[in-house]
Structure 1
Amino acid sequence: MPDPHPRSGLGEPRGPSFLPGRPREHTEPLGPPAPPPSRTTQHPPPTRPARTPRPLAAAVLAAVLAGGLAGYAAGALGDDDPVPASAPAARAPGDLQAVAARVLPSVVSVRADRGQGSGFVFDERGRILTNAHVVEGSSRVSVELQDGRRLSAEVIGDDPAHDVAVLEPETSRGLRAADLATGTRPAVGDTVLAIGSPLGLSGTVTSGIVSALDRSVRLGEGSGGGPRRALQTDASINPGNSGGPLVDNEGRVIGINTAIATLDQNRGGSIGIGFAIPVGDAVEAARTIIDGG
């Protein structure tokens, strides 16, 4: 029998799906049972009033995705005047298996003082991009590569306003930079893969599409920078995916997975609405960190 509580190199996964015991089911009271039918007369069944759909929560919450971290970001989601996208060139669908195999060697799991997340190698020196909220409070972290190697990495710096941090591992040997789609703009409907370590399960790949562009989302806590633009995707991402890449069907990184929308702050999980920092914005913030400014 397979182990019902899988483990990874980063420890036991966290989250509702891995709590021991029987999973809770959401049920609604059905009211008292109907009386048994009379033997002498037949009465039509009572007419139940039509159910009025319950409105969703007035505010959707955008939850930061670092596993083991407390705190959720206020989901300031806006649809005000999104920037119109130019018509993209026709793209042939890629072989997603080949895309995943191409990108996975560049993706790492990140373990920090307060929890764990994901990251990816973004330059030829082996430096790693992740989210600022993943490494918050840490000067050094541990990164795990897809081949199982663990490396110590220095937190060069972070930019909480953009929720970006840069790590420099102790060695660049065997590290391969991911391709970055900094010169192109994704389009709604493009196929994407989200790669990372949700719930500590390293090397997890999920697929979906870009479902919207230029969403206004407040990233992290106390960022002070106000809402930032983000890509919206329905690819399944969960706590622990933070800092991992969102890639297109050619294997190029288009964003950094950073937040999810959830209707329940205490039981956050993927509901098919996730957000990623556009890779161009992330790389610009990373260069500023590296340059010391």
Structure 2
Amino acid sequence: MSYPPQADSRYGMGQSTTQYDLRDEVRYGLGDPRGPDFPSPPPTRTWPQEDPFRRPPPADPWALPERGRPDYGVPDYGTPDYGDPHRGRRGGPGRAVVAAVIAALLAGGVAGGVTGRLTANTPESTALQQSDAGPVQGGLSDVAARVQASVVSIEVRAAGAQGTGSGFVIDRRGHVLTNAHVVEGGGQVTVVLADQRRVRARLVGTDRALDLAVLAIPAAQAPAPLTFSRFSDVRVGDPVIALGSPLGLQGTVTSGIVSALNRQVRLGEGGGASTAVQTDASINPGNSGGPLVNARGEVIGVNTAIATLMRGGGGGSIGIGFAIPADRAREGALRLVR
């Protein structure tokens, strides 16, 4: 038995991100990526040709142009009255609107929120952090810097082959969430932390229907866990970043937006379609199991699959990636660690 079945011998690493051939997936609503043809409309007006040098220049090179018939492309407004730039003017309705927009943006930027934690009520409970919507702190580069320490690379060795995937820490007990297809086939599992420490991991459990798996590493060596966002707070157009180890390149960060919600695709075993978050953030083989986070650094999904135009699963990102929604991933992880 070799792992993974799609291991890429050219790079010495597996392609653990599921890929779909869009030509075979029309029945799942992915559609034709090419789109309709839009021919250019015929010209509606023919402009006469004129010698641009027929009109003599003004006698005074510093004088304003004469009023009269304008050249083509110049509005027939005449010369505007610019007035005295130092003369005081009262603000009109236009300025009031701009001021209102700026005030609204500032108010939105300082709107606060409360971060909570939901804890499983079990004898040996596991706390998976879930956040309410709060203010965005800094830019995407700041978010990436905060999140990267909690993202890990996962190496699986079995029968002389090696697969590579991604994952992230979900609690302070050292549990790491990833995709089930990253660790399928068994073998030795090693978690590579952001600081390049290599830690042997134990497989806690898998949910093949959801394509989720939980690993365990020593709690003393585990970085801080990430927080799950509430899926109800996710909106189409929200900025997101995907983190992981595509093609074994650990610490890779790509950015995009939420392209669609509740997209029907096949993510786990069983052949049935389930809903997923669609994003145009670049996701490639090796990103599987890594987090898709919002501008607050909260996990909104687990990167799982990409669409491809090539039959047989070849090719990389074409800007259509899919992630397991955060609420479903969190609930599945809680069931596995209990």
Cα distance 1:174–1:287, how it changes in 2: closer, same or farther (>3 A)?
closer
1:195-240 Cα deviation digits (max 9, x unpaired): 00001000000000000000011014xx116111100000001000
1:270 paired residue among 298, 317, 322: 317
Cα distance 1:71–1:163, how it changes in 2: closer, same or farther (>3 A)?
closer
- Preserved contact between residue 161 and residue 225 of structure 1 (Cα < 8 Å): no
1:116 equivalent in structure 2? 164
- Say which one has the larger Rg: 2
Q: What is the rounded CA distance, in whole Å, between the counterparts of 1:69 and 1:103 in structure 2?
A: 22
Q: What is the rounded CA distance, in whole Å, between the counterparts of 1:285 and 1:125 in structure 2?
A: 17
Matches within 5 A, 1:171-190: 171-182=219-230, 184-190=232-238
Q: What is the rounded CA distance, in whole Å, between the counterparts of 1:180 and 1:159 in structure 2?
A: 19
- Preserved contact between residue 77 and residue 217 of structure 1 (Cα < 8 Å): yes
The percentage of aligned residue pairs carrying the same residue is 53
**TM-score of the aligned structures, taking structure 2 as reference length:** 0.60
The total of aligned residue pairs comes to 222
Q: What is the rounded CA distance, in whole Å, between the counterparts of 2:134 and 2:288 in structure 1?
A: 30
- Preserved contact between residue 219 and residue 228 of structure 1 (Cα < 8 Å): yes
Q: What is the rounded CA distance, in whole Å, between the counterparts of 1:185 and 1:15 in structure 2?
A: 42
Structure 1 residue 97 and structure 2 residue 97: aligned? no
Unpaired segments of 5 or more residues in structure 1?
Answer: 1-12, 20-65, 80-88
Following superposition, the deviation at residue 182 of structure 1 comes to 3.3
2:29 equivalent in structure 1? 78
* Amino acid in structure 2 at the alignment position of 1:235: A
Q: What is the rounded CA distance, in whole Å, between the counterparts of 2:315 and 2:276 in structure 1?
A: 19
Which structure has the highest helix share of the two? 2
Following superposition, the deviation at residue 102 of structure 1 comes to 0.4
1:49-100 Cα deviation digits (max 9, x unpaired): xxxxxxxxxxxxxxxxx93459756746337xxxxxxxxx897684111100
- Preserved contact between residue 265 and residue 273 of structure 2 (Cα < 8 Å): yes
Following superposition, the deviation at residue 158 of structure 1 comes to 0.4
Following superposition, the deviation at residue 185 of structure 1 comes to 2.6
Q: What is the rounded CA distance, in whole Å, between the counterparts of 1:154 and 1:101 in structure 2?
A: 27
Secondary structure of the 1:288 match is helix
**What is the RMSD of the two structures over their aligned residues, measured on CA atoms?**
2.9
Following superposition, the deviation at residue 124 of structure 1 comes to 1.6
Unpaired segments of 5 or more residues in structure 2?
Answer: 1-6, 31-132
Following superposition, the deviation at residue 139 of structure 1 comes to 5.6
Cα distance 1:261–1:94, how it changes in 2: closer, same or farther (>3 A)?
farther
Cα distance 1:174–1:158, how it changes in 2: closer, same or farther (>3 A)?
closer
Q: What is the rounded CA distance, in whole Å, between the counterparts of 1:147 and 1:204 in structure 2?
A: 14
1:280 paired residue among 312, 315, 327: 327
- Preserved contact between residue 150 and residue 223 of structure 2 (Cα < 8 Å): yes
**TM-score of the aligned structures, taking structure 1 as reference length:** 0.69
1:173-211 Cα deviation digits (max 9, x unpaired): 242101211364310000000000001000000000000
2:84 equivalent in structure 1? none
